[in-house]
Amino acid sequence: MTDALLLTFIFLVAGVVSVPIASRLGLGSVLGYLLAGMLISPLLSWFHVDIVSLQHFAELGVVLMLFLVGLELHPKKLWSMKARLFGLGGGQVAFCAVFIMAVAMLFDLPWQTSLAIGLVLALSSTAIVIQSLTEKGLMKSDGGQSSFVVLLAQDILVIPMLALIPLLALPELQQLTNAGEAETASHGAALLEGLASWQIPLVIIAAIATIIIGGSYLVTPIFRFIAVAQLRELFTATALMFVVGTTLLMSLVGLSPALGTFLAGVVLANSPYRHELESDIAPFKGLLLGLFFMTVGAGINFGLLSDKWLLILSLTLGLILLKASVLWLLGWAFNIRCSNRWLFALGLAQAGEFGFVLLSFTVSNGVIADAVADILLLVVAISMLLTPLLFILYDKVIAPRYAADQSDKPFDEMPDDHKILIAGSGRVGTTLDNILRLADFHSTVIDFSTKRLQALEKFGVKHYFGDATRPDLLKAAGIEEASVFIIAIDNPEQVTQLVQHVNHHYPHIHIIARAFDNNHVYDLWSYGCRDIIRETYDSSLRMGRSTFEALGMNRDTAEKMIDVFAQHDRVSMVEVADAHKIGVPFHENQAFIKRLREYLEEKNPHLKAAMEKIKTEDQQDSL
């Protein structure tokens, strides 16, 4: 117990110290974690920590990241990417593998070993690239989206790679085959053991079908049942259970866990619980990814590196240059333009975390010798370590140059894709959502009531489960990209809390807030909201108009009198707003009472005169 706590403390201290320093220096969090791992490497060796086993556990962070990425992709959107998925992604792997294989054969390596090395090094780091793109706000760019497509294709191609590598076994390394078979059996694919060759594809298809059917028909009722308890920790546990279960199932059938959880995320992309899932899992993803990067840094073999530093550094830089060149040419062929092509080429130029898994697999299957694999492990780790520096090169040198070249050109017309968030799906929120959708504006509506969501689902209305007052859920729902945020929940304190939080952290967003009375209006005004709708105000004005009509006035006259009052009321609210004290009712705020009385004494005679004039004109018209 003490050893586990000490190890946990070491990793936490390393991350807490290194990452803020690296971020402040503009190096990014990924490089901070990698450097932290390198710094604590001697300590871990002293405590005889098994870095490889720890890294296998930390790879759950990559799995969670792919699940969250899948949540952002609707199946239709994924299908629309098929051309780039196979052309751009498949082309990248094929060309890089062939060129790396050719270079490896120049070192007098057998073609089988060279091909395996080409396949291993053709893969890029999903964890580092997506984390860096997201951190720098580049994920939505053309270069970022193209990078994501290639990474997704690579994850898919890992499956045929695992099937091909055992066929490349060399006779002189055959003595490792038995050990490789034992390791393969211990690592997974337990459900495939003892099956005939024709049965294996059926089991794999059944596993994938289980994920798709379960995600489509079982997960939502389960989450609905769990949500009734109103316990956030239970919902988090259920979300993790689902992800870990998917990972386990993929491992048992010998498929990529990351690909399986990505598929599960895509299936759940239309679920009303999507944003709640995202906000609950994101903290675990961040911690485990940080641990993964630290294990990469700690796993560097400094002894071998010092002995063969020139060879290893040359191979690493050569790999980055080769992959960047191939990617740049592919970017040109697929019309990725300007700085986006450089982002695409530099961002994916490293080797990936799957390289650690595949290299171990090639050694155990007698395809690559241990000595060669040890050198390649260092090449993979150092190329990943250099990736944040490539992003810095893009940020500091390449992007500013293209920005300067484009500064005098007219901007393209912005697409009409405003992101609208609505907090609350009661009477107000649902009506607003219907109005916006009829005008072809698609909003994201968040509500914590499972009963209300069930009722809305029967009418085909798309809503999301979650507590909109939680900052992490707002972020998961896309508050950073929103242009309008409508607060329609029926709790005054929560409305005020949301206005305060959003206005402070996201001042660019236009907030429209539901107020409950005049006192609440002034609270919201004090916190910076300038578009406040009193929930009973408009209905009161309509009742006033109806009353005037009942007293014998015509519709136009009644409308004019109501307009005069509404204009007076709007001005008076603003005039006395600075006398309001947050949390102090009207009748207890003497300064406010004095200011309002002075204002009314000054303005009421003018208001009465305007009303009287309208009434007189109405009487004259009736004669």
Q: What is the pLDDT of residues 398-430, one digit of tens each?
A: 877 775 554 344 333 333 445 888 888 777 888
* Cα 155 to Cα 157: distance, rounded to the nearest angstrom: 5
| pLDDT the model gives residue 411 | 35
What size, in residues, is the chain? 623
Question: Do 338 and 458 lie in a common domain?
Answer: no
Question: What is the b/e burial string over 42-67, where b = at least 16 CB atoms within 10 angstroms of the residue's CB?
Answer: eebeeeebebeebbeebbbbbbbbbb
Full DSSP string of 268-336: GGG-TTHHHHHHHHHHHHHHHHHHHHHHHHHT--HHHHHHSHHHHHHHHHHHHHHHHHHHHHHHHHTT-
Question: How many of the other CB atoms lie within 10 Å of CB of 361?
Answer: 22
The closest alpha carbon to 139, from 607, 575, 478, belongs to: 478
Question: Do 207 and 264 lie in a common domain?
Answer: yes
Cβ atoms of 572 and 599 closer than 8 Å: yes
Question: Do 304 and 425 lie in a common domain?
Answer: no
Residue 594 lies in a domain: yes
Mean residue pLDDT across the chain = 80
Residue 80 lies in a domain: yes
- Overall average pLDDT of the 467-480 stretch: 78
Percentage of the chain beyond pLDDT 70 is 87
Pull the structure tokens for residue 370: 């241990």
Domain span at residue 477 reads 417-535
Pull the structure tokens for residue 232: 């956030």
pLDDT digits (tens, 9 = 90+) for 133-147: 877 777 777 888 889
- Which CATH number do you get for residue 321? 1.20.1530.20
Residue 596 lies in a domain: yes
Question: Do 437 and 385 lie in a common domain?
Answer: no
Maximum average pLDDT range among 95-99, 238-242, 279-283: 95-99
CA distance to 40, 323, 445, 562, per residue, from 556 (Å): 79, 74, 38, 10
Q: Where does a domain end: 371, 404, 437?
A: 404
| pLDDT the model gives residue 412 | 36
pLDDT at 1 over 90: no
Question: Do 319 and 454 lie in a common domain?
Answer: no
Residue 422 lies in a domain: yes
* Cα 119 to Cα 123: distance, rounded to the nearest angstrom: 7
CA distance to 4, 162, 194, 201, 458, per residue, from 198 (Å): 45, 18, 12, 6, 43
- Which CATH number do you get for residue 422? 3.40.50.720
| pLDDT the model gives residue 418 | 57
**Taking the CA of residue 11 as centre, how many other CA atoms within 13 Å lie in the half-sphere pointing to its CB?**
23
- 470: three-class secondary structure by DSSP: coil
- Overall average pLDDT of the 148-174 stretch: 79
Residue 360 lies in a domain: yes
Task: Specify the higher pLDDT residue, 4 or 143.
Answer: 143
The count of structural domains within the chain is 3
| pLDDT the model gives residue 462 | 61
Question: Do 287 and 373 lie in a common domain?
Answer: yes
Residue 307 lies in a domain: yes
Pull the structure tokens for residue 394: 């893009």
Give how far the C-alpha of residue 303 lies from the chain's centroid of Cα atoms, to the nearest Å: 39
| pLDDT the model gives residue 182 | 43
- Overall average pLDDT of the 537-563 stretch: 87
Pull the structure tokens for residue 415: 């697409």
Q: Where does a domain end: 404, 427, 457?
A: 404
Name every residue whose Cβ is closer than 8 Å to that of residue 209 and which is 6 or more positions away in sequence: none
Question: Do 243 and 375 lie in a common domain?
Answer: yes
Cβ atoms of 160 and 94 closer than 8 Å: no
- Overall average pLDDT of the 433-448 stretch: 78
pLDDT digits (tens, 9 = 90+) for 211-266: 888 877 887 788 778 877 767 778 788 888 888 888 888 878 877 676 778 778 87
pLDDT at 324 over 60: yes
- 191: three-class secondary structure by DSSP: helix
Question: Do 36 and 173 lie in a common domain?
Answer: yes
* Cα 457 to Cα 443: distance, rounded to the nearest angstrom: 15
Residue 412 lies in a domain: no
- 613: three-class secondary structure by DSSP: helix
Full DSSP string of 491-549: -HHHHHHHHHHHHHH-TTSEEEEEESSHHHHHHHHHTT---EEETTHHHHHHHHHHHHH
Residue 234 lies in a domain: yes
Question: How many of the other CB atoms lie within 10 Å of CB of 5?
Answer: 9
Question: Do 156 and 23 lie in a common domain?
Answer: yes
CA distance to 148, 179, 506, per residue, from 81 (Å): 11, 41, 32
Full DSSP string of 102-136: HHHHHTT--HHHHHHHHHHHH---HHHHHHHHHHT
Question: Do 115 and 176 lie in a common domain?
Answer: yes
Question: Do 288 and 305 lie in a common domain?
Answer: yes
Confidence (pTM): 0.59
- 487: three-class secondary structure by DSSP: strand
Question: Do 477 and 512 lie in a common domain?
Answer: yes
Cβ atoms of 30 and 128 closer than 8 Å: yes
Q: Where does a domain end: 481, 516, 535?
A: 535
